Amino acid sequence: MNKYIEKAERTHKLTEDELVSLLQDPSSSGELAISADRVRAKYVGSGIHLRGLIEFSNICRQNCLYCGLRRDNPKIERYRLSEAEILELAKKAKSYGYKTVVLQSGEDIYFSVKVLTNLLYKIKEMDLAITLSLGERSLDEYRAFKQAGADRYLLRIETTDKNLYEQLDPGMSFKNRKSCLWNLKELGYEVGTGCLIGLPGQTLHSLAQDILFFQQLDADMIGIGPLIPNMDTPLAFAAKGDFDLTKKMVSLLRLLLPEANIPATTAMETLKADARVIILQAGANVVMPNVTEGDYRRKYALYPGKICVADTPAQCRCCIGGKIKSIGRYVAQDKGFRSHISTRSY
């Protein structure tokens, strides 16, 4: 396996079969993490970018089988923040030192172009970078959001296996999901995507294909997280995603997309204590602490066992700052746009 890891570090290229070999080898995890950490240091440095996450609505028109926000979940307590509430959270995020806010919601169509662009203009006046994570919208909507100040857009594809995607996301089109990502790229967004690890029916080959798709897209940000079954969804009794496999995916993504921003996602700590620190040492360079306040944190119930739901945003900022310092890294003070220092031969 070492020859594949050396090849990935040197050329940023692997074949599907080479990726599968590394994913299935139980002994490759440590060397992958070491190699990925070297590439991370070379291409994106030791600064860790913090993005303040605002979960402003848990209302969703989609019905994804794995997601607690799914339309047909009658047990979730729905909420929608007002413009004033969202702006107040953005101001607080800036006061905590965040340079980027991530506006995330279910696919809540109340937030029209008119509503959102008005909000975006006001947040942009705070000198914050803006990342949107709102799901599928039209090309014209994406264009309007970009013109109003949005810098990045997160749209996880979850799996690039078309049959699996359409089985787990009923009523949605795999073709349209991919089209949305390419539309975002064309409009000049920094584009984020990613996948879930441990979906029923997922294979190592499909995970390898996910990585190669992200490389083809030249994704600017890739978020990887384990499946955490939610008891209020059809996947209630599915097995949890594997932490070590998730860690390997992060390392491989760093090796094959050396400039990308890769977060250590909160869901990982549902599986393992201090998981974010471990993932930051395996190739990741971004953390997205939650700045949503009060009971809204609990109500944004994507999955069970979500950490820090009782903490205040100030406590979260202090906690992650301490963890970053403990591993000899530091909180970056810029807005964290993707670097472009490689020849992009990959």
**pLDDT one-digit tens code per residue, 269-299:** 999 999 999 999 999 999 999 999 999 999 9
**pLDDT one-digit tens code per residue, 301-335:** 999 988 888 889 999 999 999 999 999 999 999 99
**pLDDT one-digit tens code per residue, 192-202:** 999 999 999 99
* 3-class SS letters over the chain: CHHHHHHHHHHCCCCHHHHHHHHHCCCCHHHHHHHHHHHHHHHCCCEEEEEEEEEEECCCCCCCCCCCCCCCCCCCCCCECCHHHHHHHHHHHHHCCCCEEEEEECCCCCCCHHHHHHHHHHHHCCCCEEEEECCCCCHHHHHHHHHCCCCEEECCCECCCHHHHHHHCCCCCHHHHHHHHHHHHHCCCEEEEEEEECCCCCCHHHHHHHHHHHHHHCCCEEEEEECCCCCCCCCCCCCCCCHHHHHHHHHHHHHHCCCCECECCHHHHHCCCCHHHHHHCCCCCEECCECCCCCHHHHCCCCCCCCCCCCCHHHHHHHHHHHHHHCCCEECCCCCCCCCCCCCCC
pLDDT over 70, % of the chain: 99
pLDDT (average), residues 219-248: 97
Q: Quick one: pLDDT at residue 308?
A: 85
**pLDDT one-digit tens code per residue, 34-75:** 999 999 999 999 999 999 999 999 999 999 999 999 999 999
- Look at residue 167 and tell me whether its pLDDT is greater than 70: yes
pLDDT (average), residues 202-230: 98
All structural domains of the chain, each given as residue ranges with its CATH number in brackets, are 2-331 (3.20.20.70)
Q: Quick one: pLDDT at residue 342?
A: 59
